């Protein structure tokens, strides 16, 4: 049952998983004022270096884009060299996808971001578990999901949700 649950959640995350695996930080949250510009002078020297290609056109960017780039540069600067290498590879992989597949990935990302924080954390944890399965087990779970009809997928999801609820009930301390 747990392997089924892992398979279901992992199928949602296959392409964008490394991003999801990062825990959220205040820098990942939307700014309090989405319409506020981020002055170029407010960026650190390191951020300006990362974002140097935007220097001449920074003021013309919409405030929301400035905020997004600022948060992204902070995230980039906090990564280790190996994490940056992996991110570059994922970026190349994403750019090679057909446009319809890119849109599907974007939609899944938005769907993930719309989940409550505790569900996002459950998805991250289940993906970590999925990644630790042997490759042949991951492949079998992917195939099982891909070959399932929509009704079968819905039943799998329902069983997964029920299992998660039972697990959560077992973790709660009992009151006497």
pLDDT digits (tens, 9 = 90+) for 30-48: 444 667 899 999 999 999 9
pLDDT band, residue 3 (cuts 50/70/90): very low
Share of the chain above pLDDT 90, in %: 55
pLDDT at 19: 43
Spatial distance between the Cα atoms of 73 and 48, rounded to a whole number of angstroms = 9
For the chain, the average pLDDT equals 81
pLDDT: which is higher, 8 or 59? 59
| Cα torsion 46, 65, 101, 116: sign | positive
pLDDT at 114: 93
Query: What is the rounded distance in angstroms from the CA atom of residue 102 to the CA atom of residue 97?
Result: 6
Q: pLDDT band at residue 7, thresholds of 50, 70 and 90?
A: very low
Lowest mean pLDDT among 7-16, 26-35, 65-74, 160-169: 7-16
- From CA 21, how far away is CA 106, in angstroms rounded? 16
pLDDT above 70 as % of the chain: 77
Q: pTM surpassing 0.85?
A: no
- The answer to whether the beta carbons of residues 47 and 70 sit under 8 Å apart is yes
């Amino acid at each position: 049952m747990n392997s089924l649950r892992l398979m279901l959640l992992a199928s949602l995350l296959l392409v964008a998983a490394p991003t999801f695996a990062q825990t959220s930080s205040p820098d990942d949250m939307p700014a309090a004022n989405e319409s506020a510009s981020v002055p170029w002078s407010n960026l650190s020297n390191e951020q300006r270096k990362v974002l140097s290609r935007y220097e001449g056109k920074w003021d013309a960017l919409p405030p929301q884009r400035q905020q997004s780039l600022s948060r992204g540069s902070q995230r980039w600067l906090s990564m280790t060299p190996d994490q940056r290498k992996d991110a570059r590879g994922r970026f190349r992989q994403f750019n090679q996808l057909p446009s319809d597949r890119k849109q599907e990935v974007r939609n899944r990302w938005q769907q993930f971001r719309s989940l409550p924080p505790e569900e996002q954390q459950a998805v991250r944890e289940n993906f970590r578990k999925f990644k630790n399965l042997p490759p042949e087990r991951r492949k079998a779970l992917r195939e099982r999901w891909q070959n399932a009809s929509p009704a079968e997928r819905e039943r799998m999801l329902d069983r997964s949700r029920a299992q998660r609820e039972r697990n959560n009930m077992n973790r709660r301390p009992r009151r006497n």
